[in-house]
């Protein structure tokens, strides 16, 4: 298929770009350490060494310890794991599942269906993204936490609250609530132009089903902008998740998050006394946001015919 060949050729050009390769290696390396944090981290995220409180980086604690004697490097790895889970759940459910599906439906059927989906998207888009996320996170968390506790009390399942699943649900739902809008608009615009092509009319004449036209003929030809948008949106989602945790609306203690660690190490007194508490999570957060944005730029260079 022409679109598949275009995607494969674009990826072959992508792997010839040094910046893209460096960014991809950094992203995979950081995510690998976060996913396998229980195996890689030298300490548990909440383990306290009272003999090494506020200890500078050493061979025993390579990124130092915090005010409670907890290993900063271990906590950063667990913080990366939380970021990986939240961002990928949001991208897969919000941008891809909801956004792409609604965009395909709106662009293909048009009329009242298109108007309803787009007006619904405008309703969400009229609020500033971060404000909407903060409002949803603040109002949803008590209810979801009560629901998770009810599950623990009425079933044999234990440790749900401690695992942080309630925090994952709160942040994911808050981020999903607006992340689908931009993707739906993008896919809708692509479908509006693609559905006028002759091969779509031929597929209809041959009796192809609506689902086949949507997912076999239209979606593959809209893959390029979808891939670019997802890659560039990852950096924004990571930044939003960190801001939510920094504001106290994200992952709750004792589970670590990059936002909470930046908040703890970002005060003037902490910077003066224990600057290493800010260094490790700051470098990781900055690297993730920067590499995803640079990788998205590289994808745009190879997929967009106007930039080649």
pLDDT tens-place string over residues 4-29:
555 677 767 777 888 889 998 999 99
Angle at 154 (CA atoms; ends 151, 156), nearest 5 degrees: 85
pLDDT score, position 304: 62
Cβ atoms 234, 91 nearer than 8 A? yes
Would you list the DSSP string of 272-291? Answer: HH-THHHHHHHHHHHHHHHH
Task: Give the DSSP H/E element, type plus range, for residue 251.
Answer: none
| Whole-number average pLDDT of the chain | 82
Cβ atoms 95, 231 nearer than 8 A? no
Q: Which residue has the tokens 């660690």?
A: 261
**Choice between 228 and 133, residue whose per-residue pLDDT is larger:** 228
Instruction: Give the confidence band of 153 by pLDDT, cuts at 50, 70, 90.
Output: confident
Residue pLDDT, tens place only, 77-117: 998 988 888 888 878 877 788 888 899 999 888 888 999 99
pTM more than 0.75 = yes
| Cα–Cα dist 174/8, whole Å | 34
pLDDT score, position 32: 93
**Choice between 3 and 228, residue whose per-residue pLDDT is larger:** 228
* Residue-wise burial string across 298-308, b where 16 or more C-beta atoms lie within 10 A, e elsewhere: bbbbbbeeeee
User: How much of the chain exceeds pLDDT 70, in percent?
Assistant: 94
Chain centroid offset of residue 294 CA: 16
Q: Is 186 helix (H, G, I), strand (E, B) or coil?
A: helix
What is 2-303's CATH number?
1.10.3720.10
Instruction: Give the confidence band of 170 by pLDDT, cuts at 50, 70, 90.
Output: confident
DSSP state of 160: H
Residue pLDDT, tens place only, 62-72: 888 888 888 99
71 φ/ψ angles, rounded to the nearest 5 degrees: -70, 120
Average pLDDT over residues 254-260: 82
pLDDT score, position 198: 81
| Cα–Cα dist 156/152, whole Å | 7
| Cα–Cα dist 61/72, whole Å | 8
Average pLDDT over residues 295-304: 78
65 φ/ψ angles, rounded to the nearest 5 degrees: -125, 165
| Cα–Cα dist 148/108, whole Å | 40
Cβ atoms 83, 238 nearer than 8 A? yes
Average pLDDT over residues 174-186: 82
Cβ atoms 65, 73 nearer than 8 A? no
Average pLDDT over residues 256-271: 80
Q: Is 54 left (phi over 0), alpha (psi -120 to 50) or beta?
A: left
For the stretch 128-135, contacts whose Cβ atoms lie closer than 8 Å and that sit 24 or more positions apart, written own/partner, are: 129/178, 129/240, 130/240, 130/243, 132/174, 132/177, 132/178, 133/174, 133/175, 133/177, 133/178, 133/240, 133/244, 134/174, 134/244, 134/247, 134/249
User: How much of the chain exceeds pLDDT 90, in percent?
Assistant: 7
pLDDT score, position 7: 62
- What are 71's strand-pairing partners? 65
Residue pLDDT, tens place only, 278-297: 888 889 988 988 898 888 88
Residue pLDDT, tens place only, 188-224: 988 888 888 888 888 888 887 888 888 888 888 787 7
């Amino acid at each position: 298929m022409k679109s598949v060949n275009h995607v494969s050729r674009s990826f072959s050009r992508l792997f010839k770009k040094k910046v893209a390769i460096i960014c991809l290696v950094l992203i995979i390396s950081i995510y690998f350490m976060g996913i396998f944090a229980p195996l890689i981290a030298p300490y548990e995220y909440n383990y306290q060494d009272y003999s090494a409180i506020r200890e500078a980086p050493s061979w025993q604690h390579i990124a130092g310890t915090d005010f409670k004697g907890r290993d900063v490097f271990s906590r950063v790895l667990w913080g990366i794991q939380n970021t990986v889970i939240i961002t990928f759940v949001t991208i897969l459910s919000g941008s891809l599942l909801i956004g792409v599906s609604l965009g395909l439906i709106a662009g293909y059927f048009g009329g009242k269906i298109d108007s309803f989906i787009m007006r619904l998207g405008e309703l969400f888009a009229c609020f500033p993204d971060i404000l909407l996320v903060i409002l949803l996170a603040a109002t949803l968390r008590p209810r979801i936490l009560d629901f998770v506790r009810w599950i623990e009390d009425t079933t044999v399942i234990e440790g749900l609250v401690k695992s942080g699943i309630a925090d994952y649900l709160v942040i994911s739902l808050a981020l999903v609530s607006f992340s689908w809008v931009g993707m739906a608009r993008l896919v809708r615009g692509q479908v509006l132009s693609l559905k006028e092509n002759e091969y779509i009319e031929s597929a209809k004449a041959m009796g192809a089903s609506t689902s086949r036209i949507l997912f076999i003929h239209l979606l593959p030809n809209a893959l390029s902008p979808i891939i670019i948008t997802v890659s560039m949106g990852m950096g924004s989602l990571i930044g939003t998740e960190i801001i939510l945790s920094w504001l106290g609306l994200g992952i709750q203690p004792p589970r670590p998050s990059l936002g909470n660690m930046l908040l703890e190490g970002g005060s003037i007194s902490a910077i003066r006394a224990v600057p290493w508490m800010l260094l490790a999570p700051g470098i990781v957060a900055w690297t993730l946001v920067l590499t995803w944005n640079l990788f998205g730029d590289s994808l745009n260079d190879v997929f967009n015919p106007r930039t080649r």
